[in-house]
Amino acid sequence: MTPRRPLNRPVHVSWRVRPQLRHGEGERQHLTSLQGLAALSLDALSSVAYGPEAIALILVAAGGAAIGYTLPITLAIVVLLTVLVISYRQVIAVYPNGGGSYAVAKSDLGERVSLLAAAALIVDYVLTVAVSLAAGAASLASAFPVLAPHLLAICLVGLALLTAVNLYGIAESARVLMLPTALFVVSVLGVVVLGLARSHPAAVVGAPMHVPVTDTLGVLLILKAFSSGCSALTGVEAIANGVPMFREPRVARAQRTELLLGALLGTMLVGLALLIHRDRVQPRHDVTVLAQLTAGAYGTGWVYYATNLVVTLALALAANTSFGGLPVLLSLLARDNRLPHLFALRTERPVHRYGVVAVAAAAAVILIAVDARTHRLIPMFAIGVFIGFTISQVGLVRHWATLRPPRWLGRALLNGTGALLTAGATLVLLTTKFLEGAWVVAIVIPLLILLFARIERYYTAVEKQLGVGRTPPRPTRPAAVAEAGKVIIIPVSDVTTRTERAVSAGLALGGEVVVVAVCFTEEEVHDLRTRWNLWDPGVRLEILDSPQHTVVRPVLDYIRQVADTGKWVAVLIPTVEPRHFRHRVLHNQRDLFLMVVLREHTDVLVCLLPFRINT
């Protein structure tokens, strides 16, 4: 039983959408532009919590003065953002069914690229969960310094909560996300406006960190800072993936939301960079850069605490979005024969249990490996996202070049430029950060692709052997079986009510019924034969000798011997079903062992007859 979509049926399901919208209930509550912003942009917007800090952390290695380069680097990133937003508005128009880079690659760039897209997406999702949790923990610890030594513990508790929520399958709604998103945007914009309005910071938090000057300010360092800052662009693709969630006119609304996201994200990034630039903000002990800017704008009163909590909440919700998204992607891959079909299984609540557990395990491993330090995750991060950006845009270029609609050349040029920029950024990310962690991604993505390919090859072979898609031959007629001879073999150990039930079932199946028992001594043989004759059930009893004192081997040999004569054989195994699970250990599982052995070594039909114990 492997019920799944056949290979040739295209799948166009978007997987960055909320659970309750995925399962057909969404028609009632499609999103407006603003709701869409709440539902789909938290991942992108919340990255201002770690993006600017990632830039500052790199630059500070060349001395405090180098912090001034934060602003031009941020401007370069905002240029990239602009290109991405324009490009993704086209993606929205061309792929109104959503689906992200995996779907785009599958439909326009072929199987191979789609494997790359899938691997990149998996890496991206898992890292988004880890980075968001780590940054959220850092934000929480900025407000409550007592938590600073326990970042990993906070992350793991958060991860456990997310896992529980996602296993339980609570449907997030856009409405619920509206408030945290609005609070987040207002808080961060407030930091920017109030901060810029003051001539100097309202308060300074955290102990100064002595960072040894280990680097000189050169092209490499700037490229490194740029690639770290690119982590702020992750999540920009989410709206394009979720177009089907919007209210009609879908495309226009989604495009408007994308624009809104770009404008908000750009403004926040530039604003925060201006503040960093002016106040020469440097990373300090146990306090994030965003928290420093918050203190600088609001002082250290209750607003400071509230803002940090809002940031933590936004990051946690961003982690949850990815947590919800990856299992859906895994299930799509499973339906496409590229991951075990297990991942496509859903429990009664629409939850992909195996996917959720897989994401949780992967994120936990990563968080433990980097001790929940955001800055150690940044070098791995964004590569996956930028591969996705590039694939989507290349797909679009191919699309324009194939269909050649009006103004296709201009559009292709635009997307081509975007693709070149993001491909370039991918290369910069990979090369400048290779030793710091990007190598992990460089190993994991090819391994994932290899895994997908091997799994697909296996499933294809299985489908061929099963004859999927072909009409099978006619079933064998019972008359043919009757002619060859039909034997029901029942292994038993003694003469009890259970034996009677098994013999009755065997007689019901028809054909010749043979009861077999294994005896170790002459005395046992005699005993059993006597009791059998006393009972006289009217079927044949075969007593097997077992020189090796095993039960399974002689039974298996006997069954094989009968099957080898060309007869049609069914083996009927009486089993015991205790009421309580703990009582299972009290029944030797020889019945199940025999079943496993028969399945492995013979082609006979194995029938299990349960005998229920009530105690």
Interacting positions 554-583 with a copy of itself (CB under 8 A): 568, 570, 572-578, 583
Report if residue 492 touches a copy of itself, rule: CB under 8 A: yes
Nearer to a copy of itself, 27 or 600 (CB): 600
Query: Looking at 98-106, 187-195, 205-213, 536-544, which segment touches a copy of itself (CB under 8 A)?
Result: 536-544
Which of residues 405 and 475 has its CB atom nearest to a copy of itself in the complex?
475
Cβ of residue 559: shortest distance to a copy of itself, in angstroms?
13
DSSP 410-467: HHHHHHHHHHHHHHHHHHHHHHHTIIIIIHHHHHHHHHHHHHHHHHHHHHHHHHHHHT
Find the binder of a copy of itself among 97, 216, 476, 565 (CB under 8 A): 476
> Is position 548 an interface residue for a copy of itself (rule: CB under 8 A)?
yes
Under rule CB under 8 A, residue 169 binds a copy of itself: no
Q: Which residue has the tokens 């991604």?
A: 441
Distance CA 272, CA 282 (A): 13
| Residue 39: CA count within 13 A, CB half-sphere | 32
Contact (CB, 8 A) for 233 and 45 = no
Q: Is 613 in the site for a copy of itself (CB under 8 A)?
A: yes
Spell out where 466-520 has E strands. Answer: 486-491, 512-519
**Footprint of a copy of itself on 590-609 (CB under 8 A):** 590-591, 594-595, 599-600, 602-603, 605-609
- The smaller minimum CB distance to a copy of itself, of residues 121 and 569, is found at 569
Element (H, E) at 161: helix 151-168
In whole angstroms, give the CA distance from residue 189 to residue 272.
Answer: 9
Secondary structure letter of residue 434 according to DSSP = I
Place of tokens 């891959």: 333
Pick from 505, 525, 563, 597: which binds a copy of itself (CB under 8 A)? 505
Residue 475 in the binding site for a copy of itself (CB under 8 A): yes
Complex with a copy of itself: residue 402 or 465, whichever CB lies closer: 465
Under the binding rule (CB under 8 A), the answer on residue 553 touching a copy of itself is yes
Cα–Cα dist 552/595, whole Å? 10
Q: According to CB under 8 A, which one of 165, 217, 309, 507 is a site residue for a copy of itself?
A: 507
Q: Which of 63, 167, 537, 597 binds a copy of itself (CB under 8 A)?
A: 537
Q: Does 284 sit near a copy of itself (CB under 8 A)?
A: no
* Closer of 86 and 507 to a copy of itself (Cβ): 507
- Closest distance between a copy of itself and the C-beta of residue 330, in Å? 13
CB atoms within 10 A of CB 484: 13
544 by DSSP, 3-state: which? strand
Site for a copy of itself in 289-348 (CB under 8 A): 340-342, 344-348
- What is the separation of C-alpha 482 from the centre of its chain, rounded to a whole number of angstroms? 52
Using CB under 8 A, which residues numbered 515 to 534 contact a copy of itself? 517-518, 531, 534
Instruction: Give backbone dihedrals phi and psi of 468, rounded to 5 degrees, phi first.
Output: -65, 135
CA angle 84, 308, 55 (to 5 degrees): 45
| By the rule CB under 8 A, 512 interacts with a copy of itself | no
Tokens of 453: 């390919």
Q: DSSP string spanning 267-297?
A: HHHHHHHHHHHHHT---BTTB-HHHHHHHHH
Contact between 611 and a copy of itself per CB under 8 A: yes
The residue (of 178 and 539) whose beta carbon lies closer to a copy of itself is 539
Where residue 18 falls (left for φ over 0; alpha for ψ -120 to 50; beta otherwise) is: beta
Cβ 509 to a copy of itself shortest distance, Å: 5
| Total chain residues near a copy of itself (CB under 8 A) | 98
Residue 214 or 548: the one with the smaller Cβ distance to a copy of itself is 548
Hey, which residues does 441 pair with through a beta bridge? none
Task: Sort residue 284 into left (φ over 0), alpha (ψ -120 to 50) or beta.
Answer: beta
Residue with tokens 């449907």: 171
Q: What is the DSSP string of 351-374?
A: --HHHHHHHHHHHHHHHHHTTT-H
Q: Is 138 helix (H, G, I), strand (E, B) or coil?
A: helix
* Residue window 444-473: x/- pattern of binding to a copy of itself, with contact defined by CB under 8 A: -----------x--xx-xx--xxxx-xxxx
Under the binding rule (CB under 8 A), the answer on residue 260 touching a copy of itself is no
Nearest distance, CB of residue 118 and a copy of itself, angstroms: 17
Q: Select from 161-169, 204-212, 379-387, 535-543 the region that touches a copy of itself (CB under 8 A).
A: 535-543
Candidates 28, 200, 210, 612; binder of a copy of itself (CB under 8 A) is 612
Whole-number Å distance between alpha carbons of 437 and 445: 13
Query: Interaction with a copy of itself in 344-403: which residues (CB under 8 A)?
Result: 344-348, 350
